[in-house]
Chains A and B, each alone.
Chain A
């Protein structure tokens, strides 16, 4: 194995092209993963922040927050279901936000809420808002007065919250009455009756099973509601499942390409060194030692390619404007390292049979 590593150190040029190709593949996979994460995190932050087990929508909304309506009567029925500890109303309006001293509008998701949102304090008084840091890139600052939507509803930025975006728009968390005004001011035909929210978030009682509570809510409301776990609610957001399956498909195809490229590279290297490996075998080296050498070279090549590729991806992610949905996550990066290493090892393994078949006699031109 040390011989293989020495070769890498002394003749890095030999591995340059394979490393370069793998680097681009790592970059491609990291970018694909980064886009998937950027789209997912930017679209679902507000739902992921819910400090609840269940989300209740009206059945006719097909679990879309923007189209759902839960009136006070339905809420009372839900609250009375055994296993429901607390209910919190929530609603959203997607609007343009006027930021002082900025010529372009920012994209805002104005949430009216009653509480139970992780990282977001209890609802502020009317006229104030907690604002997602995503909007900092649009020039939003603490203490500023933002104007929300067509009706220019004024709110003062009271504090920052993190990772609460919805459909790639920065979360703006306000009292329910402010959200209602914004909703009507922006689209009068979307106005909701007093006390009606778009959805309810449910904290279940200790010991209660969320799935059983969800079923009980459906029964109690004559299936006019649809109750999902927060996890399912996240994945019912528009396009989330489709994005994940499409991007994952592309990522796994790219991994397959990486396997084939590493396989080709080491197959070629093995063919080139058939005589050399014959000499090794003639002086006592085992097939296992030679194969481990190939694995060591594949591992190092993949690690170098990963370091450069991931480095470029991180640099690129830091440079792109916030509107570009690219977030390079550490967990995704580690997953990419794992996948590219596995691909490299599988690729190198393609040459095992050829190495085993090498006859020591080939060292003196007598075989293979």
Chain B
């Protein structure tokens, strides 16, 4: 169950999805009536999800960008240095 692919999938989940999946996993395990093998797989999955959530909460850094319109009307986000924002005008 916890193959490398599964670990990679969890490591790439956005916070809200990871949290929702973590909650569902806990609830499924709490409901019980599962074979031991499956219970342990769920448990391992829950541990991975919990670690994903905690990692994001403690390590994330805000991305702060400025939108610019390019020729052709496409809107792109470029990094915004606060020096640029501090200048009056």
Q: Do A and B come from one complex?
A: no
Q: Point out residues on B near A: beta carbons under 8 Å.
A: none
Q: Point out residues on A near B: beta carbons under 8 Å.
A: none
